[in-house]
């Protein structure tokens, strides 16, 4: 009990510390709270501090933690040890936190988005968005047939990557939960995405502009003369956590959580009304749809810091899921193909997108910003735009990213259903 209580405090207080450090240090802020949370989680999970469980227990928990009845039954049969009860408590805690944070984060991230407004600005980004989607889907479908016999759950991994590279990392998790992927595959895919994604974002911020500029047109003067509303401050505000834990900020947090709770409860009702094999899928999709619908209600969209509360929960999730990551397992031969598949999807879709941009004469900066918005989420758009020294692509990047947020879970689940037919 003491161990689980300490872990609970660690999982929910550490992200607050990381957010604070990101505000205080430009260097730490560049790394990002999510990446740091993932690193700390991996450190915790591989430090030996947490009990690992007996071989008998681990063989019975591939699909997740056991119920109290199952634990007592296996204990009576001599399959598990006394220490395994503590291990199972920890696994149950982690599983519950992961489920709750994702289910609440989905609507919270969507509440504050003015979809009508962004769709107006999205018109200039339609071509970039379509090319990015075509690139990703072509690479995913081709990769599925290349890799499907090389590692397990390739359909689920493909679906998660589609969700991730249209709606960022939280969609990877949401889609994974919706298609009932095993915890091991979810953790490994998420870990590989973090590692490979870090390399990709570094590439996009440094030499991509010069590299792609060899075949793509530059962002020309015609684009620069187009007057667009400056939303850079609002975009920056996506990572502005200031004032949340104040007398004025706390009521807004409670309001956003209250509305999210209603959405989650409705999704939870649906969970029990549909067949077991579809319950999580329907729940995730319904919560996503309700989150979008709620954003059209004025007073909900105007609740301050709802996006930041959602991001805080994603940081909590990142810390928890990473604590389950087994670095030794990552290096095992049977997981190399999964690593190669994620690497193939990330860089394959990027360079396929560049090829399509060359055909359709899309400029370098809009190509890079579309890739950034879909792969890494809107908050990364101004960061990359600054690296490109071109703030004029912020609007189109945000528009692309917001549309990606909205469709990511639906698209990921849809791709899973299609691939499952093969």
178-188 mean pLDDT: 83
Environment class of residue 313 by beta-carbon count within 10 Å: exposed (0-12), middle (13-18) or buried (19+)? buried
Cβ-based neighbour number of residue 301 at 10 Å: 16
Q: What is the pLDDT of residues 362-411, one digit of tens each?
A: 888 888 988 888 887 666 676 677 677 776 676 677 678 777 877 888 89
For residue 117, the model assigns a pLDDT of 64
User: What is the spatial distance between Cα 391 and Cα 387, in angstroms, rounded to a whole number?
Assistant: 9
Tokens standing for residue 72: 């007592």
226 pLDDT band (50/70/90 cuts)?
very low
Tokens 């709770």, residue? 261
Confidence category of residue 422, pLDDT binned at 50, 70, 90: confident
The gap between the terminal CA atoms of the chain, to the nearest Å, is 46
pLDDT at 227: 42
Helix (H), strand (E) at residue 204: helix 183-205
Cα of 184 vs its chain's centroid, Å: 17
Could you tell me which residue, 267 or 245, shows the higher pLDDT?
Answer: 267
Q: At what angle do helices 68-76 and 83-111 cross, to 10 degrees?
A: 160
Find the length of the chain: 422
Contact 131, 352 (CB under 8 A): no
> Is residue 393 within 8 Å of residue 365, measured between CB atoms?
yes
Q: Given the structure tokens 């990142």, which residue do they identify? A: 318
CA distance 110 to 300: 10
For the stretch 120-173, pLDDT in tens is: 555 556 788 889 899 999 999 999 999 988 888 899 999 999 998 888 776 888
Average pLDDT, the chain: 81
- Tell how far CA 83 is from the center of its chain: 33
Residues 251-292: tens digit of each pLDDT: 989 999 999 999 999 988 888 888 776 677 678 778 888 988
Q: How confident is the model at residue 15 (pLDDT cuts 50, 70, 90)?
A: very high
Report, as an integer, the average pLDDT of 225-239: 50
What tokens appear for 115 in the block? 């979809």
CA 196 to each of CA 190, 349, 362: distance values in angstroms, whole numbers, following the listed order: 10, 13, 26
Residue 144's alpha-carbon distances to 127, 227, 242, 338, 355, in angstroms, are 26, 43, 44, 11, 21
């Amino acid at each position: 009990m003491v161990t689980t209580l300490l872990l609970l405090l660690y999982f929910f207080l550490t992200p607050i510390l990381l957010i604070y450090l990101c505000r205080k240090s430009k260097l730490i802020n560049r790394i990002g709270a999510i990446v740091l949370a993932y690193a700390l989680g991996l450190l915790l999970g591989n430090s030996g501090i947490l009990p690992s469980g007996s071989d008998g227990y681990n063989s019975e928990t591939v699909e997740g933690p056991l119920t109290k009845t199952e634990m007592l039954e296996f204990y009576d049969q001599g399959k598990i040890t006394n220490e395994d009860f503590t291990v199972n408590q920890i696994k149950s805690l982690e599983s519950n936190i992961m489920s709750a944070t994702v289910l609440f984060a989905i609507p919270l991230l969507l509440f504050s988005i003015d979809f009508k407004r962004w769709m107006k600005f999205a018109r200039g980004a339609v071509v970039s968005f379509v090319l990015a989607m075509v690139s990703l889907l072509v690479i995913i479908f081709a990769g599925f047939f290349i890799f499907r016999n090389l590692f397990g759950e390739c359909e689920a991994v493909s679906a998660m990557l589609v969700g991730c590279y249209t709606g960022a990392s939280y969609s990877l998790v949401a889609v994974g939960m919706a298609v009932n992927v095993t915890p091991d595959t979810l953790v490994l895919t998420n870990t590989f995405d973090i590692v490979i994604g870090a390399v990709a974002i570094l590439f996009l911020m440094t030499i991509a502009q010069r590299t792609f500029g060899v075949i793509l047109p530059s962002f020309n003067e015609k684009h620069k003369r187009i007057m667009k509303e400056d939303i850079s401050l609002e975009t920056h505000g996506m990572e502005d956590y200031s004032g949340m834990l104040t007398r004025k900020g706390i009521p807004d947090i409670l309001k956003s959580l209250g509305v999210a709770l209603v959405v989650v409860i409705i999704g939870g009702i649906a969970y029990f009304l549909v067949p077991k094999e579809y319950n999580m899928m329907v729940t995730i999709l319904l919560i996503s749809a309700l989150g979008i619908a709620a954003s059209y209600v004025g007073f909900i969209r105007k609740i301050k810091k709802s996006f930041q509360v959602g991001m805080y929960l994603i940081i909590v999730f990142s810390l928890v899921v990473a604590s389950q990551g087994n670095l030794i397992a990552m290096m095992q031969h049977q997981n190399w193909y999964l690593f190669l598949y994620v690497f193939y999807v990330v860089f394959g879709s990027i360079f396929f997108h560049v090829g399509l941009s060359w055909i359709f004469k899309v400029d370098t900066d809009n190509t890079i910003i579309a890739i950034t918005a879909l792969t890494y989420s809107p908050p990364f758009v101004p960061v990359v735009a600054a690296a490109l020294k071109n703030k004029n692509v912020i609007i189109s990047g945000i528009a692309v990213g917001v549309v990606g947020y909205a469709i990511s879970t639906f698209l990921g689940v849809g791709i899973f259903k299609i691939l499952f037919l093969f």
